[in-house]
Amino acid sequence: MRVVVDTNVLVSALIRPSGKVGAVLNRLRQGNYTLLYAPVLLEEWVDVLARPRFREKYGVTEDVVKTLLALLMLRGETVFSHKTLSVCRDPQDNKFLEVALAGQADAIVSGDADLLALHPFEDIPIISPAEFLRWLDAEKGLQDFAG
């Protein structure tokens, strides 16, 4: 399964690994899906995680960020979009749609109302983290049954 994960989901999963969204990163570690990303998404993730608020409040150190980036490189795939979109209410969110289209994503995972309002986008479901985890569980169940 090829998935684009919104910054809010990725950051929430990192700072609260035992929370509801933490399983999104755990499932990536397990290789349950391929994370699609573009350099612009990596830059945003690093920028957000480098903010003093995250460093101080959540203990997000440089080593934590490096470990996350290593996981993304291991379980992810770099996508280069050559199409610029202007469809989202929040122009900053268009990049997630661009990566999803360029990478032929199976889904976009987000908690952002501006993205969720576009569900589905070009036949790509835009789903919450909880829905995504249920989807992964259902897919795993089918694989176990078939195997």
Provide the β-strand partners of residue 37: 78
Residues ≥6 apart with Cβ < 8 Å to 36: 2, 3, 4, 76, 77, 79, 99, 100, 103, 105
- To the nearest 10°, the Cα dihedral for 93, 75, 104, 101? 20
- pLDDT reported for residue 139: 79
- pLDDT reported for residue 53: 85
- pLDDT reported for residue 11: 92
Residues 2-146, CATH architecture: 3-Layer(aba) Sandwich (3.40)
Token code pair at residue 42: 């990596």
Task: Parse the chain into domains and list their residue ranges.
Answer: 2-146
Q: Is 68 helix (H, G, I), strand (E, B) or coil?
A: helix
Q: Is 121 helix (H, G, I), strand (E, B) or coil?
A: strand
Tell whether omega for the bond before 120 is within 30 degrees of 0, i.e. cis.
Answer: yes
- pLDDT reported for residue 19: 87
**In whole angstroms, how far apart are CA 65 and each of 50, 97, 113, 132?**
8, 24, 26, 24
**Residue pLDDT, tens place only, 29-60:** 999 999 999 999 999 999 998 899 888 898 88
Single-letter amino acid code for the residue at 99: V
Q: Identify the CA nearest to 122 among candidates 141, 145, 99.
A: 99
- pLDDT reported for residue 54: 80
Token code pair at residue 31: 């290789």
Low-confidence ranges of the chain (pLDDT < 50): 142-147
Question: Can you list the positions of beta strands (E) in the chain?
Answer: 2-5, 34-37, 76-78, 107-109, 126-127
